[in-house]
Amino acid sequence: MDKGSFKVKVGLAEMLKGGVIMDVTTPEQAKIAEDAGAVAVMALERIPADIREHGGIARMSSPSIIKAIQSIVSIPVMAKCRIGHFAEAQILEALEVDFIDESEVLTPADEENHIWKHDFKVPFVCGCRDLGEALRRIGEGAALIRTKGEAGSGNIVEAVRHMRQVQKDVRRLTTLPNDELMAAAKEMGAPFEIVRQVAKTGKLPVPNFAAGGVATPADAALMMQLGAETVFVGSGIFKSEDPADRAKAIVLATTYYNDPEKLAEVSMGLKDAMEGLNIASIPEEERLANRGW
Amino acid sequence: MSLKSTTIGVLGLQGSFVRHIAMLDKLGVQTKQIRYPNEIDNCDGLILPGGESTTISKLLDEMKLRERIQKYNRPMFGTCAGAILLSNNSDDPLVHTLNRVPINTQRNAYGRQVESFIASVDLSFDKKPFNAVFIRAPKLLQPGKEVTVLGTINGEIVFVQYENILLSTFHPELTDDPRIHSYFIKQLIRK
């Protein structure tokens, strides 16, 4: 019996497609997310908007919070570890979280190396801003890729930029003859074999989700229409005035992302979304997307 | 009825529906993603894919698809979450089953994702076993008398038929082996 192989890891990512994964900090929030139709929850100590506001070092959640959330919901429970912090990842694996997010939202533990994710039985998701970054993470063993966007900003502009960039990079690879692929791999800083595979198939070898700035049903629909296969919502739900209703509306918007009438219907009657930040107002050194390479 | 004039609907609310559609495309039948009640009518069969059964169960109610599927009398195939939904009873109160197959289902019966696995399934209709992917898989328990067992791993039931409905706890759409989908088309839809 084969457990923890790459195929088994990607298998769970396949099951999450067409859904919404919600950041939660308490068992109560996890229950609200599950009742709203989330396909998974991300257990965190603080949501990205609060991490941004309060500063300090953001670390893996406390195991007791993760355990409490696991005991209250039946959907998959994910958790974040710091970039390069493989000991946090080992602890999360021992807790049997269903997915580990090696995330730029937490303070990086290693400014040079990411985790060698092939060593783990639990699948990993990692953020990216372009195809080269996505393929480096897949080379290290990530079973799922998401855009970084700009977490905790409530602003979709960076997620759009990153999703379009990945798609553009994939399209370009498919137009290159074999003898230009090595140079493309060099330029992107990506593993050649995976570059060749993407050039041949025209898609990433793992699912590609969107994250970082989704605050409304329309944001979720936008990312799905741009090619995301599922949407992560971080601060957008529990920083809004009406988490339960908004969560449910975003779930429906993700399924009916290309039905404008349905989108209008689910967007009606919602209270205020999170306020959000202009990216230009965030100093370069405080931008979370710049963490990791 | 030729393959090309056969249309199979795949419930496309959430989950692994794209992979099912890709497998059916390869086998040469027409496919249709189902998200609205009236889309079911012209299909010769329906697949309920894997995904999160709690999410799919809520969306079925939200879009008034539940009653349509409960009354649908053509062949159906539920994989993983789809099997839970088609069963008479699930251990999770958040999942409202469609009560189409006299069998009980236990969600995530093997444990969390670290316990997900690939194993070879012994089939009743083919000597060659099927290498199958089980993701946070359920178990099929207490099958009714009229339920036929089509597949097992180490004697445990993982694939059954009841009248014109198939249930599998694994994901045939995640492999390159089309035999399970072929069985559905040849034995249930075009017989």
Size of interface A-B (CB pairs under 8 A): 112
Task: Decide if B116 and A76 are in contact by the 8 Å CB cutoff.
Answer: no
- What pLDDT sits at residue A141? 98
- Mean pLDDT to the nearest integer, B140-155: 97
A102 vs A52, more confident: A102
Q: What dotted CATH number matches B3-189?
A: 3.40.50.880
| Residues of A forming the active site | 80
Task: Decide if A8 and B118 are in contact by the 8 Å CB cutoff.
Answer: yes
Min CA distance, B71 vs chain A (Å)? 23
Whether B176 and chain A come into contact, CB under 8 Å, resolves to no
Query: Any long-range contacts for A258-266 (C-beta under 8 Å, 24+ apart)?
Result: A258/A221, A258/A224, A258/A225, A263/A217, A263/A218, A263/A221, A266/A217
Task: Decide if B113 and A252 are in contact by the 8 Å CB cutoff.
Answer: no
- What pLDDT sits at residue A163? 98
Task: Decide if A14 and B119 are in contact by the 8 Å CB cutoff.
Answer: no
Beta carbons within 10 angstroms of residue A5's beta carbon: 14
Do B125 and B183 meet the contact criterion of CB atoms below 8 Å apart?
Answer: yes
What residues form DSSP beta bridges with B46?
B9, B76
Whether B88 and chain A come into contact, CB under 8 Å, resolves to no
- Mean pLDDT to the nearest integer, A72-78: 97
User: What are the pLDDT digits (tens) for A184-202?
Assistant: 999 999 999 999 999 999 9
Query: What's the mean pLDDT when you consider all of chain B?
Result: 96
Whether B154 and chain A come into contact, CB under 8 Å, resolves to no
Q: Between vectors from CA A250 to CA A245 and to CA A252, what angle results, nearest 5°?
A: 95
CA quadruple B37, B39, B41, B45: dihedral positive or negative?
negative
Can you tell me the distance from the alpha carbon of B6 to that of B14, in angstroms, rounded to the nearest whole number? 24
- What pLDDT sits at residue B149? 98
Task: Give the confidence band of B123 by pLDDT, cuts at 50, 70, 90.
Answer: very high
Task: Out of A15, A74, A256, name the one closest to residue B51 (CB).
Answer: A15
Task: Decide if A96 and B92 are in contact by the 8 Å CB cutoff.
Answer: no
Min CA distance, B125 vs chain A (Å)? 22
Domain ranges of chain B: 3-189
- CA torsion angle B91 A67 B49 A117 (round to 10): -150
Indicate whether B3 pLDDT > 90.
no
Whether B151 and chain A come into contact, CB under 8 Å, resolves to no
Beta carbons within 10 angstroms of residue A112's beta carbon: 8
Residue of A nearest to B133 (CA): A8
Show residues of chain A in contact with B108, CB under 8 Å: 74
3-state SS string for chain B: CCHHHCEEEEECCCCCHHHHHHHHHHHCCEEEEECCHHHHCCCCEEEECCCCHHHHHHHHHHCCCHHHHHHCCCCEEEECHHHHHHEEEECCCCCCCCCCEEEEEECCCCCCHHHCEEEEEEECCCCCCEEEEECCCCEEECCCCCCEEEEEECCEEEEEEECCEEEECCCHHHCCCCHHHHHHHHHHHCC
User: What are the pLDDT digits (tens) for B29-51?
Assistant: 999 999 999 999 999 999 999 99
Indicate whether B191 pLDDT > 80.
no
Residue recorded with tokens 């079925």: B60
Task: Give the confidence band of A45 by pLDDT, cuts at 50, 70, 90.
Answer: confident
ipTM metric: 0.96
Task: Decide if A19 and B112 are in contact by the 8 Å CB cutoff.
Answer: no
| Residues of B forming the active site | 80, 171, 173
Can you tell me the distance from the alpha carbon of B35 to that of B51, in angstroms, rounded to the nearest whole number? 15
User: What are the pLDDT digits (tens) for A151-163?
Assistant: 989 999 999 999 9
- Mean pLDDT to the nearest integer, B137-143: 98
User: What are the pLDDT digits (tens) for A228-245?
Assistant: 999 999 889 998 999 999
Residue type, B148: T
Query: What's the mean pLDDT when you consider all of chain A?
Result: 95
pTM: 0.96
CA quadruple A256, A257, A260, A264: dihedral positive or negative?
positive
Whether B80 and chain A come into contact, CB under 8 Å, resolves to yes
Can you tell me the distance from the alpha carbon of A37 to that of A32, in angstroms, rounded to the nearest whole number? 9
Task: Decide if B135 and A11 are in contact by the 8 Å CB cutoff.
Answer: yes
Best residue of B10, B116, B171, B175 to probe chain A, by most A CBs closer than 10 Å:
B116
Task: Give the confidence band of B1 by pLDDT, cuts at 50, 70, 90.
Answer: low
User: What are the pLDDT digits (tens) for A173-185?
Assistant: 999 999 999 999 9
Beta carbons within 10 angstroms of residue B26's beta carbon: 11
- What pLDDT sits at residue A275? 84
Burial class (CB in 10 A: 0-12, 13-18, 19+), B64: exposed
Show residues of chain B in contact with A75, CB under 8 Å: 52, 54-55
Share of chain B above pLDDT 90, in %: 95
